[in-house]
Structure 1
């Protein structure tokens, strides 16, 4: 199986079929968990499957990208009160080795929106294209992260984001560079400065590039998981989830 197939089969066993035996075959016993609320190890997640099934949890995967041993899913979980809200939008990242899932990171945010441009948190383009431009697109987003998100040269934002078509799926931000600028100014005026301090992961496949970062949102230590779609050398679409990084976790693996 491909790494995508391994992960999708594992997610189906866990969150569609709620089948611990099928899932156990796809997770290593020492499964490394980075969700702050779930203990590490395969048995911890397998043990909550009956409760998740009873809750009526459903999962819908909207986007899948993979690079090397990492697979990123962009999904919606409904009846997800066990995860903190009735409907949660999530990025899940899985690491695969020898045909099994060995590590998991995620970032969940309650569904909100539509945003001022009428876009939802999970709608938009889904098809992976331009596989021959994966390295080029990853390099573009990497430079964007360094210059704009990390603040090295924010004035260069026009080198990275399309001035003609930039579809925004953050529930608080409108389309276009103007919408992004207005939102950032409003946050700054309210004392809610958003700061990216470190980017721990960049995963790219074709026209999609995913990043996992941490920083501050106001006074809150925050995880920022972002997905960018690139077209003709510019970022043209963006999805994200933001979640607080708690000081206390159910394991010692950290958020990242």
Structure 2
């Protein structure tokens, strides 16, 4: 299972949590590259690069419904989007690794969004 977790903290406590989980046979894990943020000064530019990339992707690809958030620190940018494929809605988390203003690597985790009646709480994937 491959998982991307997002936590929001307030006063040192976790107050919100989102995740996406997918079984992936491909062994292309993030472990093949250092996950240490080396250039925090690049955060804003990298986030803007992915905002433009996602905006252009949504315009060109009719499976994209909405981008819900983009989070970034240094070379790493996470895009959280909603897509529709074969009449099924999915949450798509795409983690980008940016080097010298170019997308060098992307990891994608796609999970089906359950019907609201099957949710365990009132929160959504976003």
TM-score with structure 1 length normalisation? 0.46
Quote the residue 1:83 is aligned against: none
Quote the residue 1:107 is aligned against: 20
1:253 to partner: Cα distance: 1.6
Residue in structure 1 matching 2:30, options 102, 117, 122 = 122
Q: Give the SS at the match of 1:202.
A: strand
Q: Unpaired runs of 5+ in structure 1?
A: 1-87, 115-119, 155-192
Which structure shows the higher helix fraction?
1
Deviations 1:179-203 (A, max 9, x none): xxxxxxxxxxxxxx87121111111
Deviations 1:2-24 (A, max 9, x none): xxxxxxxxxxxxxxxxxxxxxxx
Change (3 A) 1:122 1:133: closer
Structure 2 residue 101 is the aligned partner of structure 1 residue 229: no
Deviations 1:208-238 (A, max 9, x none): 1001111112221101001001111111111
Quote the residue 2:106 is aligned against: 238
Deviations 1:63-83 (A, max 9, x none): xxxxxxxxxxxxxxxxxxxxx
Aligned partners of 1:107, 1:242: CA distance in 2, in Å? 7
Change (3 A) 1:99 1:207: same
Change (3 A) 1:124 1:196: farther
Quote the residue 2:120 is aligned against: 250
Instruction: Report if the CA contact (8 A) 1:91-1:108 is conserved.
Output: yes
Aligned partners of 2:32, 2:95: CA distance in 1, in Å? 12
Instruction: Report if the CA contact (8 A) 1:107-1:223 is conserved.
Output: yes
Q: Which structure would you say has the larger Rg?
A: 1
How many equivalent residue pairs?
123
What is the root-mean-square deviation of aligned Cα atoms in Å? Answer: 1.6
Q: Unpaired runs of 5+ in structure 2?
A: none
Q: Give the SS at the match of 2:124.
A: coil
Bigger relative CO (Cα 8 Å, ≥ 6 apart): 2
Q: After TM superposition, where is structure 1 displaced by more than 6 Å over at least 4 residues in a row? A: none
TM-score with structure 2 length normalisation? 0.90
Quote the residue 1:217 is aligned against: 85
Q: Give the SS at the match of 1:142.
A: helix
Quote the residue 1:145 is aligned against: 54
Which structure shows the higher strand fraction?
2
Change (3 A) 1:217 1:241: same
